[in-house]
Amino acid sequence: MSAAPLPEILSGPPLTAVGVAVVRAAETRRPDRLYADPLAQAFVDAAERAHLAPTAPPGAAETWAGVLALAEAMRATRTLGVRLADDGLLAAAEAGCTQAVLLGAGLDTHAFRLEWPVPVHVFEADLPQLFAFKEPVLAAQGAEPVCARSVVPVDLRAEDWPGALLDAGFRPELPTAWVDQVIATTLPRDEARRAVRRLTALSAPGSRYGYPVLPPGSFARTVRAVPGAERVFPVPEGDPGSRGLGAGDRAWLEGLGWSTAFREISDLTAGYGREVPASPGAGMVAAVRL
């Protein structure tokens, strides 16, 4: 691990990933849980110890309070998102996608906790500092993946991230399930579309690509409404509508050779027995490579 203090490593998106681990740990404790992630609490505990330690940098405790507050504000919707990603990956494997690429893998543990119906190879792509935190925690827990797993430390804005994926053993001739938690929602428009063109070039027929759709500015409004949350994830300046794939995303994807479908979040989660917070226009796009 880097010699930098852990609260400095965990800043921006990596710290947001810790907030999602807080959500997953809370869900795992519920008797009516939608999924179980036994490793989530270990990530939470490690981050909490670092932020509350006497040697932590100034302001670390306040930042940690912001993590917990933001996690609580996002809990109802984010925990449903975890279950949707789980179900989507298992369905894709059942349909013949023997590779899964998690774009913005965060601290989730699909390779450790899912009961895969067929042998798969999971590639986790995320920032190097995310893995500087994640891998030591997994090692300390003695965690063993239940499928092939490759870590791809890379910035998805970089020109060479497909090369890093190929170097990790990715095979473009095989159908792949792409789970996107970053590109289609947070990157500036030109970078987002460039990244999707690159993953399209790596996608064999039958590959699947899924990403969430959020009303423009909804995440920024959530962050600004939670005291201390901007210490966790500073909201980018400018028009939130200029990020992600933008309006006309489905038509644009279809022009690249994907078939697409959109479903509202309330429809997707109807069978989960959870109340879905009202969010008109929120849902998921599922695309299949033709």
Tell me the pLDDT tens digit for each residue of 66-106: 899 989 988 998 999 999 999 999 999 999 999 999 999 99
Average pLDDT over residues 8-23: 86
Q: Is pLDDT at 2 greater than 60 in this prediction?
A: no
SS (H, E, C) the chain: CCCCCHHHHCCCHHHHHHHHHHHHHHHHHCCCCCCCCCCHHHHHHHHHHHHHCCCCCCCHHHHHHHHHHHHHHHHHHHHHHHHHHHHHHHHHHHCCCCEEEEECCCCCCHHHHCCCCCCCEEEEEECHHHHHHHHHHHHHCCCCCCCEEEEEECCCCCCCHHHHHHHCCCCCCCCEEEEECCHHHHCEHHHHHHHHHHHHHCCCCCCEEEEEECCCCHHHHHHHHCCCHHHCCCCCCCCHHHECCCCCHHHHHHHCCEEEEEEEHHHHCHHHCCCCCCCCCCEEEEEEEC
Provide mean pLDDT across the span 33-44.
97
238 versus 157: the higher-pLDDT residue is 157
pLDDT band, residue 153 (cuts 50/70/90)? very high
- The average pLDDT across 223-247 equals 74
- pLDDT tops 50 at residue 262: yes
The more confident residue out of 187 and 253 is 253
Mean pLDDT within 151-162? 91
Residue 26 has pLDDT above 70, yes or no: yes
What pLDDT score was predicted for residue 14?
Answer: 84
Percent of the chain with pLDDT over 90: 69
* Average pLDDT over every residue of 125-130: 94
Q: What is the pTM of this model?
A: 0.94
**Confidence at residue 243, expressed as pLDDT on a 0 to 100 scale:** 80
pLDDT tens across 187-220, in order?
889 999 999 999 999 999 999 999 998 876 677 7
- What pLDDT score does 28 carry? 98
Architecture of domain 6-230+240-289: 3-Layer(aba) Sandwich (3.40)
Write down the pLDDT at residue 250: 96
- Domain ranges for the chain, please list them: 6-230+240-289
Give the mean pLDDT of 112-123.
Answer: 98
Q: What is the mean pLDDT of the chain?
A: 90
pLDDT at residue 5, rounded to an integer: 61
**What per-residue confidence (pLDDT) applies to 154?**
95
- pLDDT score, position 236: 66
